[in-house]
């Protein structure tokens, strides 16, 4: 997949930031709010935006949104521990998995399926880092041990990963549809010329 034009890059970046701002306050969602799309946004940012500096800005946006949600929106600060410092690493797994896969996107069905699988694996790795750092370094569990950690990993992991890959699947389907429409439109215009 070739790099985006400046205007498309800016438009997509604004969309990704807006989705993060709209969803960051509710990890699991409820009747009025979509679940947090941050993990998917980091994968999609790597896949489409790719720039290292953009990753840094997105991490800073996530931190700023967390600060606002805790300071002004009444969100609990339970997760803000030493482990919070591992979130950039967890997000980097997603971003750089997307960035790594980007040149392999051909627009064929199999490349979309492969992107989905890469996102799934990256989401599992990212969640293991964020959840593992919270469990082992967060200081919230008096006597952490492996069996409790594995139980918590199985309790929360599927929900976080399912949310991430659901957003990624929607984005990949949208990309496939838009690519087909653009290719069809271009084909019709060339046939007329």
Domain boundaries, the chain: 6-192
pTM score over 0.95: no
Neighbours of 36 (CB within 10 A): 24
Determine the Cα–Cα distance for residues 156 and 140; give it in Å rounded to an integer.
Answer: 16
pLDDT in tens, the chain (193 residues): 777 889 999 999 999 999 999 888 765 445 456 888 999 999 999 999 999 999 999 999 999 998 888 887 777 776 778 888 899 999 999 999 999 999 999 989 999 999 999 999 999 999 999 988 888 887 777 888 888 888 888 888 999 999 999 999 999 999 999 888 887 777 666 656 5
Q: Which two three-digit tokens encode residue 35?
A: 């679940």
CB 43 within 8 A of CB 123: yes
DSSP track, the chain = -PPPPHHHHHHHHHHHHHHHHHHTT-SS--SSSPPP-HHHHHHHHHHHT--HHHHHHHHHHHHHHHHHHHHHS----TT-SGGGGGHHHHHHHHHHHHHHHGGG--SSHHHHHHHHHHHHHHHHHHHHHHHHHHHHHSS--SS--HHHHHHHHHHHHHHHHHHHHHHHHHHHHHHHHHHHHHHHHHHHHHHH-
């Amino acid at each position: 997949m070739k790099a985006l034009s400046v205007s498309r890059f800016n438009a997509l970046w604004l969309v990704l930031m807006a989705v993060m701002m709209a969803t960051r306050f509710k990890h699991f969602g409820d009747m009025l709010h979509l679940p947090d799309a941050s993990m998917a946004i980091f994968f999609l940012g790597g896949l489409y935006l790719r720039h290292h500096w953009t990753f840094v800005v997105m991490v800073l946006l996530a931190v700023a949104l967390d600060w606002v949600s805790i300071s002004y929106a009444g969100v609990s600060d339970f997760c803000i521990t030493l482990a919070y410092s591992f979130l950039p690493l967890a997000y980097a797994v997603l971003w750089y998995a997307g960035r790594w896969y980007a040149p392999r996107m051909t627009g064929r069905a199999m490349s979309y399926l492969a992107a989905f699988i890469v996102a799934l694996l990256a989401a599992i790795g990212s969640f293991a880092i964020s959840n593992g750092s919270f469990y082992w370094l967060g200081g919230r569990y008096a006597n952490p041990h492996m069996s409790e950690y594995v139980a918590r990993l199985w309790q929360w992991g599927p929900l976080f990963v399912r949310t991430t890959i659901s957003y990624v699947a929607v984005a990949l389907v949208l990309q496939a549809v838009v690519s087909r429409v653009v290719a069809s439109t271009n084909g019709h215009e060339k046939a007329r010329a």
